[in-house]
Amino acid sequence: MKYLIVGARGQLGREFVKALPEAYALGKEELDVTNFGKVLEVMRALRPDVVINCSAYNYVDRAEEEFERAYVVNSLGPMYLAIACREIGAFLVHFSTDYVFDGEKTAPYTEEDRPNPLSKYALSKYLGEINVESVLEGKYLIFRTSWVYGEGRQNFLYKLRQWAEGSECVRVACDEFSVPTSTRTIVEVTLLAIKAGLTGLYHLVNSSYASRYEWAKEYFRIAGIKKFIYPAYQHEFNLPARRPKWSVMSNEEISRNLSINIRTWKEELELAIKNMRTQ
């Protein structure tokens, strides 16, 4: 089976490259998903069996002013890939976000819950889901993930380290809840789902949930960072983009379909940090 990893230089893309060393791996320089002509040209030339789309515009706050850029990458890009996949008979794997929900629910979100994006970033991701679904009519996998972290700079843990280096006290929201999820977990479960022939939309997160404050405290404990973490409230940061205070998603559906138990976020965080240290 021939794999094509799109957005191969981002933190999720790099994790897929490690797991699939024989795959075609293209960064933005080789394949800009917003260029429809280039997408068709590359897909026709390589003719992969499975396309894993890791390309994304992930600047949540900047998207409030740069919605056009977020839209072309997160909404049109997936649609262009889907059209090319349909033409050559390839299978598309695409990743979305917990931010498609508004946080008004008091229990974990399931695949049956209706999205209601609060920000322009979240809207661009939700439109990407709709575009893939409409083009491929069930012949795809869409995974909603949350609070993704791995090797790279575009994640909360990297920012925490930077903040800790510059201050004795780090302020983190204690009223924002979701599921910290490692790129390693995403890759492991995605490859199992492809092998099992699953299709459709699933929530792919580690198990259990936490506030950002709890996540930060656990990370500092494991990493041995001796800095005080002050529990603040989301509104105190006055960020441009609205974020759901509760975007916890259930992974029961994907776990049941694959007959697996996905590690809790705490278990995975400890394993992921140990793994990073040995590399």
Residue 275: predicted pLDDT:
78
Residue 279: predicted pLDDT:
52
Write down the pTM of the prediction: 0.96
Residue 143: predicted pLDDT:
98
Residue 149: predicted pLDDT:
95
66-102 pLDDT per residue, tens:
999 999 999 999 999 999 999 999 999 999 999 999 9
Q: What is the pLDDT along the chain (279 residues), one digit of tens a residue?
A: 999 999 999 999 999 999 999 999 999 999 999 999 999 999 999 999 999 999 999 999 999 999 999 999 999 999 999 999 999 999 999 999 999 999 999 999 999 999 999 999 999 999 999 999 999 988 999 999 999 999 877 789 989 988 888 788 999 999 999 999 999 999 999 999 999 999 999 999 999 999 999 999 999 999 999 999 999 999 999 999 999 999 999 999 999 999 999 999 999 999 988 877 655
In this structure, the strands spanning 148-149 and 181-182 are parallel
3-state secondary structure of 182: strand
Residue 151: predicted pLDDT:
86
- What residues have CB less than 8 Å from 78, skipping those under 6 apart? 33, 53, 92, 94, 128, 129, 131, 132
Q: How far apart are CA 62 and CA 26, in angstroms?
A: 25
Name the class of domain 3-154+180-207+249-263.
Answer: alpha beta
